[in-house]
Amino acid sequence: MVESMDSCDQLDRVMELYIFQHACDAAVLQKCLLRTLKLLWWSPKLEELNKNANTKKQRIQNAVPSRCQHVVEEYVRVKVVHEWAAEDTQMMKSGRYARFADGSSVATLGNTSVLATVVSKAKQSASSFLPLVVDYRQKAAAAGRIPTNFLRRELGPTEREILTSRLIDRSLRPLFPQNYNYDTQIVCNMLAVDATNPPETIAINAASAALAVSDVPWNGPVGAVRLGQIDNEIIVNPTRKDLQDSILNLVVTATKSNLVVMLEGSAEDLLQQDLLKAIKLGTKEAQHIVRGIEKLQKDHGKTKREYETQLPLDSSIVDTIKSLSSMRIREILSDHRHDKMSRDLALAEVRQTVLNQLRDTDADVNQLSDCFNSNLRQIFRDMIFENDVRCDGRGLDDLRNISCQVDLYEPLHGSALFQRGQTQVLCTVAFDSPESALKMDTLTMLTSGIREKSFFLHYEFPSYATGEVGKTGAPGRREAGHGALAEKGLMPIVPHQPYTVRLTAEVLESNGSSSMASVCGGSLALMDAGVPLDRPAAGVAVGLVTRYDDSGHIQDYRILTDLLGIEDYMGDMDFKVAGSKRGVTALQADIKIGGLPLKIVMESVQKACDAKSKIIDIMNKCIDKPSGIGIESGTGSRIENGTRIRIEIGIGYEIENGTSRKSVRKENMPVIEEMEVEAHRRARLLGVGGINLKKLYVETGVQITPIDETKYSVFAPSQAAMEEARARIATWLSTERTPELEFGAVYKAKVVEVMDIGVLVTLYPGMAPALVHNSQLDHRKIMHPSALNLDVGSELQVKYFGRDPVSGQARLSRKVLLSPPPAVVRQLDKS
């Protein structure tokens, strides 16, 4: 066996060249090469090669600490299937980069490569949970670009980086041991990116390989694949161009035994059976990656470290906690009159009572609290299995009480309040000009193909939504993730609009699934604003509680529809599904155990789709069609001051008996017009340096943007603003064009005012009077213009010398056009 990297590389190149030239089988060729190597092992050439390789390896080992002595570069080729394209290869390397980290790996697909590193502290954290941080960073240099900000370097994380970090986190976190409470950080750096392969799944696989080869305890590996659907065909790992034509963009992360660890995706109202088919195929394809990483781990992975855990409480203390609290906990959870706040307060009171009774023991208070919480969680789950009744009295498939209200405030373009149990979301819609579209950064445009978004959703979760005190500032990772999911749920049903639509979802109360409530409230608000949605959309969260047998397999489970906050905390899954009655538009599975069988996933999707249809029926009772105060494109034209103006104006509409009719529209609804101005009159519209358009926007809010050389788009925030803009535009276009004065030219001027220091003249009608000073009227010294018989109405010729750089006044002179007086001959000889 050849141990050096150089010899392995040479053999790889020989094998690839021979396979390419002779089209033989790789496995057969490999066996032949191994037999040949055994026969030639003692040849002088191979002895020298092996000696040099060992010397190089020893030099590397001496140069690095003992924890990094295992230096190897291993290629794991993972088969990635495309329906109509040639097979592609996903490679994973370990051992060359970041050798001071506990584990590192580089995953490559096409020309996109991502480096993942993992570092975990040796000292245990004081927290009772896993303090895991995942950071994914996009580098402009990876695409051959320079950042366009002022500092020309990468700054804080972008929204896409945050979403990808959350994607990686949810794919890895469930497989850490429950009692592993050590600070752990996973950093994924983009090394290179092409315009073909999206980097998100590559980053997940790189992080999975880095954890697998590291000494950090982890029950992986996992494999991630992306799936699309084009012409009813499921595509595995579609390219960026494929995703533009695909009606599905789904990321599936799975571990061995076909267990699903994470799901996230968006679709254009995809049918339920097509979604289930894609999930099943993605889980199967992920097994190729899992087996490849397992091979890398087996051959070159480090031995998992031994880690300390807290000593368990004495069994007598545990029994005491159970005896003191179990009966009271059951009473509280069986009292269906409790709401979120009263239930939490009652449980907190029981916890404090138990801790007070055990304060004389030597046990740590945090351990006592953790033991109480563990007993509370077990009782909560057992009660669901015993009676199939949840803590608020609902059955497993029942929905909470839902109420909807639209058109809350008159100044708003659209508004809705969606209340589901104790989750309350206020959604508002604002229309603006097309120039207000959300612009994407350079790398996001390159990797996603999206330059700007004319529809976007902003999600806000203030601290008072849960009755807490907190800081108000920029949105965090949670807000970014929930907002992106709600936006995905509504994006497919919103048709393309000639304006920018911003939907704001502000959570006022939260007791579970506020992101899916944002989808419901957002759909209502858009219809209230008159946006002609293809169909209404809704969202719901589905939970899960499980029981395991002695072998570690799921023995029994219960699926919970319309998840409560406490059920999310005590349960094993938070599966969010959004869409219309026809299909699914977005989904996200946050699984908290080490993987779910496909059977449970399929059943969860079915229950979520059934609940989603029931919610839409309730929403339709509030508003089932776009309101009569919305915007619809109307066209027409008129002649105004010799200029043809094509009108594309927002008008209200209602639908009645399958036909539309005009109705009264809100006064503050925006208006869009298309205006055509001849090329020779364009300067009158723009003004000097575009001053007319700038002034119009500042004073009226009306934006005028060019479409081509003669067409302009006019956006006004209201009909009143549009009327004012029309009047101003008409004035500009009817005003005669100001002639351009030529430096050094002679013009005929008319005196409009006589002053002691000179005369004020105009060169053309409408010109601001310009001063011709006495010193510029004649070569002789003039005390008053009347000495030259100049009066109001007099005409004279002047020469133009440009404008004064300070005052901007025109500089005119009559003197330079007159012949100088004859010189006076002076007699110097007095004799």
Give per-residue pLDDT as tens, 671-691: 888 888 888 788 888 888 888
The span from the CA of 558 to the CA of 713, in Å, is 57
Own/partner pairs, 437-440, CB within 8 angstroms, 24+ separation: 437/500, 438/500
Helix-, strand-, coil-residue percentages of the chain, each rounded to 5: 40, 30, 35
Q: In sequence order, what are the residues at sequence separation of 6 or more whose Cβ sits closer than 8 angstroms to the Cβ of residue 515?
A: 459, 482, 483, 485, 486, 539, 576
Distance CA 489, CA 485 (A): 6
pLDDT for 58-70, tens place per residue? 433 433 333 333 3
Q: Using CA atoms, how far apart are residues 684 and 250, in angstroms rounded to an integer?
A: 53
Alpha-carbon separation of residue 528 from 501, 588, 634, 734, 829 (angstroms): 13, 27, 19, 41, 104
Is residue 105 a contact partner of residue 94, using CB atoms and an 8 Å limit? yes
Antiparallel, parallel or unpaired: β 455-460 and 500-509: parallel
Q: What is the pLDDT of residue 499?
A: 85
Tell me, yes or no, if the two domains 64-300 and 633-734 fold the same way. Answer: no
Tell me the domain boundaries of the chain: 1-63, 64-300, 315-339+347-387, 402-570+596-622, 633-734, 746-817
Burial class (CB in 10 A: 0-12, 13-18, 19+), 476: exposed
Alpha-carbon distance of 730 to 745, in angstroms, equals 33
User: Looking at this protein, which amino acid is placed at residue 305?
Assistant: R
> Which pTM does this prediction carry?
0.77
- What kind of architecture, by CATH, is found in domain 402-570+596-622? 2-Layer Sandwich (3.30)
746-817 belongs to which homologous superfamily? Nucleic acid-binding proteins (2.40.50.140)
Dihedral over Cα of 153, 154, 155, 158: its sign: positive
- Are 560 and 604 in contact by the 8 Å Cβ rule? The answer is no
Instruction: Give 125's Cβ-side CA count (13 Å radius).
Output: 14
**Residues of the chain under the 70 pLDDT cut:** 1-88, 627-666, 735-738, 829-831
Q: How far apart are CA 566 and CA 511, in angstroms?
A: 8
Burial of residue 38 (number of CB atoms within 10 Å: 0-12, 13-18, 19+):
exposed
Q: What is the 3-state secondary structure (H, E, C) of 582-597?
A: CCEEEEEEEECCCCEC
> 633-734: what fold?
Ribosomal Protein S8; Chain: A, domain 1 (3.30.1370)
Closest of 166, 219, 173 to residue 188, by C-alpha:
166
First to last CA, the chain: 127
Domain 64-300 has CATH 3.50.50.60: no
Please answer whether residues 615 and 540 qualify as being in contact, where contact means their C-beta atoms are separated by less than 8 angstroms: yes
